[in-house]
A and B are shown apart, each in its own frame.
Chain A
């Protein structure tokens, strides 16, 4: 069963004094439950724009997107709140009105966050601030934050883009392990990394505004 669907998705940017740029020219694809999909392509091809549209952060010019209500995001820049501890950063989505009901009591949310942090080896860093963590550790925290609401879909934008190859492969390994752990989710990952693409079931290439590719 498809958890994510895009039909004839188009995106056009209008810049003042310039010709409109059509980044997406009719993207059609579906992502199924527990499926891992990598989207690759050259810089500026529109991969991040596609991911933002799929996640509802940006509006498409035309076309239809069918997405689940519960989506987790992982960003290249981690985007952890510097004022919050590691545990508070992971718990952040559960504080929103949207997700407060998903996990029920705050105690359950806290248990889930602590379990995730233990799974990624950060059980002893829960009280630390992001500034006290390495890049790899910060991305692990960001992964836990994306998964704390038990999403049906995780959208990851270059999750290893800011990390060295060794740390990046560690993150990918964790992502794979988490994906096959108790809660299973579909993954759409924009990446330049062949290693990252290698963990996915399908690799799609975004070129000239359309997606190409198929089964791995």
Chain B
């Protein structure tokens, strides 16, 4: 055992007690700092995962849009080719357009999705109908639960649908149509439940005054998060379309959301790293107190022939031991809390402290996922902070005058 480690370990255990109280407090400080950062980052990662899952369930993984012009023609042939690509699970030619829905004086402007009735369930994973069915036969429409609530409609009611062509076409008159609400879906994401309605592709085509063609071909895959495989699917899809279509991936379509999530996570990490910094200040305080307490001993070491660097190392090693113990305990505590997070949330709710109301988040359990890189990031950060915080008292200790130190 090297001398710095030998003496630093001795300093951890004072002669009159099992462990130094101030050292214990600073170790607990580091432990809390590490645990808080890891827990918060895990929960934020969990929320990010939920967002991603909801988007991947509802939105297309790839949208094939016309490179020029407004419509895709020959959509059935293209869709048949794209379906052959390994990894593709569902291909739906669609017309998506914003419409006006009205019912008894209430008006809403959702996005109306025109899709083949047979493909709806494969393309939009919205679970079982909240009410009615997802049958798009005839003049029927399926709407989200929040939209239905806003309009005050239920299954069987007839809503009036106004085409956007009414506003832009001067030569033709597009009369509103009345469609019956066949079903109500609820995917647990307010934006989707309030902002979308679904009808059959022929009906929407008629509404838009189109004889043929679609606005886009939407593709679902089994590998949206596997970058290399997904990119290959996208490349193949564009190639098979004959170069007349361009691809917009789910990450590009919802770039703002993912950017916002990334910024939020990084900002939170930055702010939480300040907690680690505060925790490491505890280590520095402890070392400063220790250097004052041990002043005669520092003088003795220098009188006995120990060099400045050797004296410094004792205090740096002492600080790093505190940080290491704090990190290990912090990792254990964060693991224990994350393993029992839902139980803790429920217990707090029973105590009257509702920290994760299901009605607000629409989730049954608080999401969380621990990423190994997050652990390395936190451990590295605390080590760097700890080293910097240990160096200051260590330099002060090494700079002490031996005679003055011995006489203190």
Contact = CB atoms under 8 A, between A and B. Distances in A.
Nearest to B4: A95
A93 B10 contact: no
A73 B3 CA distance: 20
A95 B6 contact: yes
B395 interface: no
Interface in A64-117: 73, 75, 77, 79, 81-84, 92-93, 95-99
B310 A96 contact: yes
A96 B304 contact: yes
B3 A95 contact: yes
B15 A75 contact: no
B257 interface: no
Classify the interface of chain B: helix, strand, loop or mixed.
helix
B239 interface: no
Nearest to B13: A83
A129 B10 CA distance: 12
Name the interface size band of chain B. 20 to 34
Contacts of B300: 79, 81
B243 interface: no
A58 B300 CA distance: 13
B307 A96 contact: yes
A131 interface: yes
B362 interface: no
B310 A83 contact: no
Given A57-B403, A84-B10, A98 B306 contact: yes
A52 B307 contact: no
A55 B304 CA distance: 10
A131 B305 CA distance: 24
B11 interface: yes
Residue from the set A84, A95, A97 with the largest chain B CB neighbour count within 10 Å = A95
Contact of A83 (B10, B304, B406): B10
Nearest to A85: B10
B262 interface: no
B402 interface: yes
Residue with the greatest number of chain B CB neighbours at <10 A, chosen from A55, A81, A84, A129: A81
B15 A93 contact: no
- In the A-B complex, the 3 residue pairs with the smallest Cβ-Cβ separation, listed nearest first, are A98-B305, A83-B10, A95-B3
Interface of B: 3, 6-7, 10-11, 13-15, 296-297, 299-307, 310, 402-403, 406
27 contacts: A55-B303, A57-B403, A57-B406, A58-B403, A73-B303, A73-B304, A77-B296, A77-B406, A79-B300, A79-B406, A81-B300, A83-B13, A83-B14, A83-B15, A84-B10, A92-B301, A93-B305, A95-B3, A95-B6, A96-B3, A96-B301, A96-B304, A96-B310, A97-B307, A98-B306, A131-B15, A145-B304
